[in-house]
């Protein structure tokens, strides 16, 4: 009899304990753009019980009593929030506001891993999106002119090639490694970079290592490293269109559009530029065959990515560039014996760039990370030369690939 009585008391107490247990659910997202915050930390003040949000910003937390609780929600780079949870409350919708003063500038180029700028034992120059947008930039190399310690020169404005070097390397462009999202873009011979082929309207941050980086990146980083980092789409849909007009009938159009839908993110961008140009031949060498050095070029690119979790993602991206630059000479239309050989628009150099890359990134709780990149870059240069002697035109079409 006593045994039965105690068993009943135990069952009653157990049922009351089970009834007292209840599960709360919620979702944490960015107050500015509504994006979910994966890895946000939620802790109960009274019991110190805690959990974190998943990739969709959601969480579940079991409480042992129906009395009100205080929850503290925190996330790196955001203002923490404390709220009172009442029994029977539906799914919580929690918004956290960004706190830019809490999270310092993070760089990846100096150590190939994410580090705070003040933790890097090297001289690192950083330029972020806000500063880039404030500059009168015509091509990607113009961004670097405002960073101390970088030498940027062009022989004939945007009609000629640009030389960028660090630490007094001068014309030794091959001693300064230039990367886009960690992928080298220097030519295999000579080390020069086609800066017109790099889209600058999609750059989020520029990181520059001033001084030898050969221990990490190899011999072509003797003068330093320049890494142009693209924006990662955060909003569901956003875009921008710009048009500029200048002298010599110079026109430039730029377009970019990107988006994110839960785990997927994507982006497209393009540029078209055309100019009649001007005569770049020295005044004492100008003759009847001298013409303006024209420019006609376009560039397109795209990316597609998938975030498995907040710490793991994969991305594929690629781009294509085609540019024609006049050399300032034209021999057609003068009645030469073989006039049909001369280039109708004048002698020119044509360049094409094609690139493709696949990137996998993962970070782990022990502060280690894994970045794997497969990439290919193909360049073709086709100079169209022409000359004449004794009213006979000689034409040379040369195609080289790298």
pLDDT of residue 215: 76
Interatomic CA distance for residues 241 and 271, integer angstroms:
10
Nearest Cα to Cα of residue 256 among 242, 235, 273, 245: 242
pLDDT of residue 290: 87
pLDDT of residue 322: 95
pLDDT of residue 128: 87
Three-point CA angle 158, 184, 123, nearest 5°:
90
pLDDT of residue 267: 94
Q: Mind listing the pLDDT tens digit for each residue in 277-323?
A: 888 888 888 888 888 889 999 999 999 999 888 788 999 999 999 99
Helix (H, G, I), strand (E, B) or coil at 14: helix
Tally helices (H) and strands (E) across the chain: 3, 25
Stretches in the chain below the pLDDT threshold 70:
1-22, 64-67, 86-90, 100-104, 110, 115-121, 155-160, 169-174, 366-367, 385-386
In 97-202 the beta strands, taken as DSSP E runs, fall at 106-107, 115-116, 124-128, 150-158, 162-166, 176-180, 183-184
Q: Is residue 198 within 8 Å of 181, Cβ to Cβ?
A: no
Q: Is residue 330 within 8 Å of 388, Cβ to Cβ?
A: no
Interatomic CA distance for residues 108 and 124, integer angstroms:
10
Nearest Cα to Cα of residue 387 among 325, 315, 327: 327
């Amino acid at each position: 009899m006593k045994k039965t009585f105690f068993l009943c008391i135990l069952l009653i107490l157990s049922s009351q304990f089970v009834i007292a247990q209840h599960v709360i659910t919620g979702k944490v997202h960015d107050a500015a753009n509504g994006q979910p915050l994966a890895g946000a930390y939620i802790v109960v003040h009274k019991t110190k019980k805690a959990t974190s949000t998943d990739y969709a910003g959601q969480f579940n937390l079991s409480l042992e009593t129906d009395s009100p609780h205080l929850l503290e929600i925190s996330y790196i780079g955001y203002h923490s929030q404390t709220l009172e949870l009442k029994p029977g409350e539906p799914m919580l919708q929690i918004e956290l506001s960004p706190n830019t003063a809490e999270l310092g500038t993070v760089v990846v180029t100096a150590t190939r891993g994410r580090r705070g700028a003040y933790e890097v034992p090297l001289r690192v120059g950083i330029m972020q999106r806000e500063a880039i947008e404030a500059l009168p930039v015509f091509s990607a190399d113009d961004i670097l002119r405002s960073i101390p310690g970088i030498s940027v020169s062009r022989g004939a404005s945007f009609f000629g090639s640009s030389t960028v070097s660090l630490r007094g390397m001068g014309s030794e462009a091959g001693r300064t490694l230039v990367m886009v999202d960690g992928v080298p873009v220097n030519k295999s011979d000579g080390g020069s970079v086609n800066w017109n082929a790099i889209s600058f309207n999609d750059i989020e941050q520029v990181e520059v290592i001033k001084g030898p980086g050969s221990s990490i990146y190899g011999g072509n980083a003797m003068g330093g490293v320049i890494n142009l980092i693209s924006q990662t789409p955060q909003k569901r849909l956003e875009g921008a269109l710009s048009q500029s007009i200048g002298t010599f009938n110079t026109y430039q159009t730029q377009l970019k559009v990107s988006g994110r839908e839960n785990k997927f993110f994507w982006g497209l961008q393009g540029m078209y530029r055309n100019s009649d140009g001007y005569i770049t031949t020295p005044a004492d060498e100008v003759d009847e065959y001298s013409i303006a050095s024209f420019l006609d070029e376009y560039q397109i690119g795209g990316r597609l990515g998938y975030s498995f979790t907040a710490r793991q993602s994969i991305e594929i991206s690629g781009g294509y560039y085609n540019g024609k630059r006049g050399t300032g000479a034209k021999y057609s239309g003068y009645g030469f014996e073989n006039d049909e050989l001369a280039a109708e628009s004048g002698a020119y150099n044509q360049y094409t760039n094609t690139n493709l890359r696949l990137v996998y990134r993962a970070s782990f709780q022990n502060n280690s990370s894994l970045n794997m990149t497969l990439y290919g870059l193909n360049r073709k240069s086709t100079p169209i030369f022409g000359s004449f002697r004794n009213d006979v035109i000689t034409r040379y079409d040369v195609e080289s690939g790298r």
